[in-house]
Amino acid sequence: MITGRVLLLNFSYEPLGTVGVARAVCMWFRGKVSVEEHDGENFLRSPSTEIRVPSVIRLRTYVNIRRQRRETTMKRARIYIRDKYRCQYCSDHKHAKDLTLDHILPRAQGGESTPQNLVTACVPCNQRKGNRTPEQARMPLLTPQKNFNIGLDRVLLCHYAESRPEWKKYLFMDEFESDELIAA
């Protein structure tokens, strides 16, 4: 239970991401958050007390998140999740440590580090492709590039939400400003 994830909402109910159960409980103890949803009938127990495990928490004050920084630090993991940990050239499934991010249009040819231009690639494929486009390298992408035009925040949270029905009403309440994220 202590290893689960908790959905963190801003005061405005905007989803901000997830935190571990331990951190969520800690934030709650310090009065930083209120608990919006509990994780079923699961409890954390100590000899003197028991606490229902939170599933969704909400900040008591509005926090202006610097989206761009979060985007950068989380981008790699989100792109791996978006691509289902599969090399987009040879379709091999790998652990994160054996994967890299490949620029579809290489940086040397003006390619940007945006989610639409980054795909998951294994090390051998990334090296083989080098500073070439998929066409130049004759290495077609497994997934059409246009499918990458969705917000990575949403990809990540929907991935977690598959097993957390109580999160869904928070995740689908707005369009998640995905356009803004992509532009960042």
* 126: Cα separation from own chain's centroid: 23
Q: How far is the CB of 78 from Zn ion (least distance, A)?
A: 19
Q: How far is the CB of 129 from Zn ion (least distance, A)?
A: 9
Contact 39, 4 (CB under 8 A): yes
Q: Compare residues 93 and 159 and give the one whose CB is closer to Zn ion.
A: 93
Q: Compare residues 56 and 87 and give the one whose CB is closer to Zn ion.
A: 87
* H/E element, 170: helix 168-171
At 82, which amino acid appears? Answer: R
Alpha helices in 34-161 (DSSP H): 67-82, 123-129, 134-137, 152-161
Phi/psi of residue 135, each to 5°? -65, -45
Q: Compare residues 93 and 168 and give the one whose CB is closer to Zn ion.
A: 93
Q: How far is the CB of 33 from Zn ion (least distance, A)?
A: 42
List contacts with Zn ion (CB under 5 A): 87, 89-90, 122, 125
Q: Strand, coil or helix: what is 12?
A: coil
Measure the CA dihedral 164/93/136/111, to 10°: 40
Q: Compare residues 5 and 86 and give the one whose CB is closer to Zn ion.
A: 86
Q: How far is the CB of 35 from Zn ion (least distance, A)?
A: 43
